[in-house]
Each structure stands twice: as C-alpha cells, then as structure tokens.
Structure 1
Amino acid sequence: MQDTDVTTPRAGADDFLHKPVVPLELKSRVHIGERILGMGDDLVNVKGALENAAMFDPLTNLLSQKAFLALSRGELERARRGQVPLSLVALDVDDLTSINEKHGEAVGNDVLTLVAQTIREKSRPYDGVGRYKDDMFLIPLPGVIGQDAEKIAERILKGMANTDISLLDGTALHVTVSAGIVSLLRVTVSTEIEMLIERAQEAVERAKQAGGNQAHTIFI
C-alpha cells in the first residue's frame, strides 16, 4: 500500500512534504527555500544599511546628532575616569540664511558639504566630528584645553577662509565660519554633554557678535 501520510513538521519547521516525495515538488521547495534565505540576507543588509544611515548625516557624511551624542557621552566618561580635561568645539557657518535666500538651498547644501569636508581635513584624524543641527558642527576634544583647542579651531577657520565655492555665473562665494569653544579642566559625574553644547553655542554667538570668522572660548 502506498504511503500517503502527511509528515508532521517538527517544532520550528517552516515546511513539510507529503510521502512519497515527488522530485519536481522537492526541487520547487528547494528553490523557495533558497529565495527565503536570500530574503533573510537582504533583510540583514537592509538592517545594516539603516543602522549606517542612522549613524551618519546623509548630506555631510559626518556623525549624525544621535551618533555624536552617544560618542560624546563616552568621551565624557573616559575623561572623567582618566581625570583629564576636555574641550568641545562648535562651528557655525556665518550668514548661511542669507546664502540660502540669495543663491538657493542647493548652494547652501554645497556650503555645508564644503564646511564639513574642511572640518574633517583640518581636525585630527581620530576626532569624532558630528553635524549637530542645520549649520552647526561639533567636535569633542578629550585631553585638550584652552589654547590647544583654539589652535584646532583656528586651523579650521583658516582652511575655510582660503576656500571659495564657484557659482554657476562664474563668481566665487566666500564662506566663513565662527567657532565657540568650551573647556573643562575637570569632568565630573554631573557633567552633561547637553550643557557643554549649550555653552559652546553661547561662545559661537559671542564670536559672531564680534564680527564672525573667529573663535571665542569659555572656561568652566
């Protein structure tokens, strides 16, 4: 008598075959299984791409705000445990609103891309540079304080001062940035990155009020 019973799948099984096994059906099931496995690989790749997209700002390819905050909190904790100073540099594009209004958002995006590239080139290779919001970029500098932090900021400012953007009409757009630096001699358990960012933004505003294209430092 021909065996036509259905084989009950074991726990965790996704499919089963009737007996006797038909070669064509087996081949079809194998192909389906391969497709499912391929979909699994695709999902893993998509997940990795999404995680990477969440980590980096799509326009500038610098750290995103979320990734920057996570990195900075780690830097604060290491500075606290190692009892070393820490500085935070904030860089803000001068007159970006006017640039967008006069030349359009596409040119404004070119400005942000150029600024990000200059910051990356002029900062130390191991510094975690992030785009915090709009036209503000941040760099945590563990082990650096005062004049040493100012030297890094000044190097970036000079790099921007020597770089122009060529517009479609053949003219050159000169772009400058202002820097705000907050320096701590000692990081404590109560030190929070949000507070440092706020103080660095205050320093940027003072630099802009003084004419822009310069750095201002606050010690706390």
Structure 2
Amino acid sequence: MQVRYPDVSDETYRSYYLKQDRGQCRKLVRIVLWTSLPLLYVDYLFHGLTISLLALLVLRTVVVIGSAVLLKRLATTPSAETLQRDMLLWIVPVLFTQFASNASLPREYFGHYLIDAWLVMIYFIAIPLPLRVLRAPMIVFVTASLCLLAYQQAALSAYTISVTSMLLAGAYSGHAISAYLHRYRRKILSAEQEIERQSTIDPVTGVVNRREFMRISDSELQRHVRLGKSLSILVLDLDQLKQISDLHGHHAGDIVLVEVTRRMKRATRSYDCLARYGNEEFCILLPEASAEDADRIAARTRATVLAMPVAYSGKELRVTVSMGVATMQEGDTASSMLQRADASLAKARVANDHAYDSVIGGEA
C-alpha cells in the first residue's frame, strides 16, 4: 500500500534544496564558462576573421564575464528567490548567444540543430529551477529556432521535419523528466519531514514527547540564562489514570489523556511548551515565568482540568491532578529543574491519592 505524506510548501521545498541546487547551478555555469572558448573556435572555423565572428566574440565574452560573476554570487546565494533571479538573468544571454551562432551559420549546415535538440532537453534537467520559470525562455528559444529553420529551409524536406521533431521531442522530454524529478524530490522531503515530526510527537495526545521536550528545555534554559530571564517548569500527573484504564478500558484512558491535553492548552499561554513526559505525566515549559507566574498558571491549569468530568460512553469520569512547580535557579539544568518539580509533585500526589480512591470506588 502506498503511503501518502502531507505535501510541503513550495517555499519549504526550495529552501531545503537550496544548497544542493546552488551546487548544481555552479557546475552548470562552469561547464558553459569552459566551453565558451572551444565554441568560439568553431565559430572561427565557419566564419574566419569577419564581422560575424567579431559579433559572436562580443556575445561570448559577455557570457564568460557573466558566468564568472555568477559563480561568485552563487557562493553566497542567501535565498531561493535570489538563485532563481540570478540564473534567469544568466540563461537569457546564453540562449541568445546560441541562437545568434545558429543564425550566422550556412543554410545547408544542420549540425547546430542537433546540438540544439540536446540543449533543450538538458536545459530543463540540469537547471534546478521551477518549471514555470524555465518554460518562458525555452519556448521563446525553440520558437525562434523553428522560425529560423523555416527561413533557411523554405522547401519542406526530410531534414526540416527531422530537426523540427527533434527540437520538440527534446523540449518535451526534458520538461517531463524535470517534472518527475521535482515530484520525486518533493515526495522524499515530505516523507522525511513527516517521519521527523512523528519522532517528536506523542501519538495519543499530539503534543511533543519526552525527548523533544528535553531538547527544547535545554535550548530555552541556555537562552534564558543568557538573557537573564526567569524560566519555570510545571509537572502535572493524572492521579490514578491506571485505575480508569483498568475499570473502563484503555480507550477510556486515551480519551481522558486527549481531553486533559485540550484543557491544559486552553489554560496555558500560546508560547508555553506542553509535553507528555510519561504515561500519565505531563510537563509544561513556561518561558519568562517567575515563581509567582508559574504558581498562577498552575492554579489556572488545575482549575481548568478539574472544571468538569470527562464524558465517556454515557459515563462521567472525574479527573484529579497533582502538580509540581520549579523555577530556574543559578547553575540549574533542565534535569535539575525537573527533579525539583518532581519532588514538589510527589508531595501533592500523596495528598490526592486517598481522595481519588473514594471517587473511583463510588463510580465502580
């Protein structure tokens, strides 16, 4: 069975492959740069020391200078939009020079059209830009080449039909291959991002898991130490969740977890980090929260969770919670803060256990 992953946005796709695409563009520009001299020698063989050769020399010099400048710019291209613009400005004079060279050659010579057929195919494949950007220059180039062919070979012949077919087939093949490559790369990126997302998300509640919470906590702790701001951690334990699962089934336990998660999200701030830390334990990272702020958020969270029972199959499952809070101190780490919060939680848990046992007994 084929697995479908959420598609990534075009901006994410371009940004992710920016470094790879930039390297590909640099290779292509180098190829054009170093082939300019042999191509100029071919022009000399056809034209000798004439005005046509001088004009082609000027055009190829422009391409060489532009390629050299572009190589330096590609070394530090900051964004996909800049890469797209720079490459488009480079593509136009390259194609114009190729067309001018074709137009200056003898009418009976068809060899350059064979090169064009190969060029229009490689053009789409080798240049890692969106197809919507590449289409316009290539359509103009192919159309101009076909018009030139019709002008040079007024009488219809097998040569003109073959060359026309090769140009159109080359352009279509290159476009089709490039479209497939873009789709393939996008699918790979979509799969990688979805796998990465799933590795950091708790599958039941949809909040981050323990590993991701510790990573975020370490990063935030360093940032708060550097800025000299307060940071707090709130630990919340669902009292006797195991008893609820034993009495009403594991699905009931999952329903309780999901509903409690929703209530905690409503009670906390939008930039707080909520995580499922254990089977029945949640952690909330409270950026820029002092001890007073943390106590206030803890009280609001507790009140929101206890506001009403959780409905399940026509039954009301009453949920109680134990909570512990720790605020950052000098020399703290994320682990040491969690240890203090757990110690605070243990005291609250003991006080709630006896009361919750009586509630569960009444529901049974």
Smaller-chain TM-score bracket? 0.7 to 0.9
Letter aligned with residue 352 of structure 2? G
Q: Secondary structure at the match of 2:277?
A: strand
Post-superposition shift, 1:104?
Answer: 0.9
Partner Cα separation in structure 1 for residue 211 and residue 182 of structure 2? 32
Aligned length: 205
* C-alpha RMSD of the superposition: 3.2
Q: Is the 8 A contact 2:205 2:257 kept in 1?
A: yes
Instruction: Tell me the secondary structure at the aligned position of residue 317 of structure 2.
Output: strand
Among the aligned pairs, what percent are the same residue?
26
The Cα offsets for residues 140-168 of structure 1, whole Å up to 9 and x where unpaired, read as: 22333333311211111111111222221
Please identify, of 83-92 and 96-105, the stretch whose mean Cα deviation from structure 2 is larger: 83-92
Note if contact 2:239-2:352 (Cα within 8 Å) is conserved in structure 1.
Answer: no
> Where do 1:69-218 residues align within 5 Å?
69-168=214-313, 170-184=314-328, 186-188=329-331, 191-211=332-352
Structure 1 residues 79 and 24, CA, compared in 2 at 3 Å: closer, same or farther?
Answer: closer
Q: CA deviation at 1:77?
A: 1.0
Give the corresponding residue for 1:64: 209
Q: Which has the larger radius of gyration?
A: 2
Aligned residues of 2:309 and 2:316 also touching (Cα < 8 A): yes
Q: Could you tell me how far apart the structure 2 residues matched to 1:26 and 1:146 are?
A: 67
Structure with the higher fraction of residues in strand conformation? 1
User: Does the residue aligned with 2:205 lie in a helix, a strand or coil?
Assistant: coil
> 2:273 is paired with a residue of what secondary structure?
coil
The answer on whether the counterparts of 2:200 and 2:208 sit within 8 Å (CA) in structure 1 is yes
Q: For the structure 1 residues 80 and 30, does the alpha-carbon distance in structure 2 shift closer, same or farther, using more than 3 Å as the test? A: closer
CA distance in 2, matches of 1:81, 1:30: 52
Q: Which runs of 5+ in 1 are unaligned?
A: 14-19, 214-220
Higher RCO (CA 8 Å, separation ≥ 6 residues): 1
Residue type at the aligned position of 1:195: S
TM-score by length of 1: 0.77
Task: Please tell me the residue identity of whatever aligns with 1:208.
Answer: R
Say which SS state the counterpart of residue 133 (structure 1) adopts.
coil
Equivalent residue in structure 2 for 1:47, among 184, 189, 192: 192
**Which has the larger helix fraction?**
2
Q: 1:125 to 1:206 in 2, by over 3 A?
A: same
- In structure 2, stretches of 5+ residues that fail to align are 1-110, 112-117, 127-162, 355-364
**TM-score when scaled to structure 2?**
0.49
1:218 aligned residue:
none
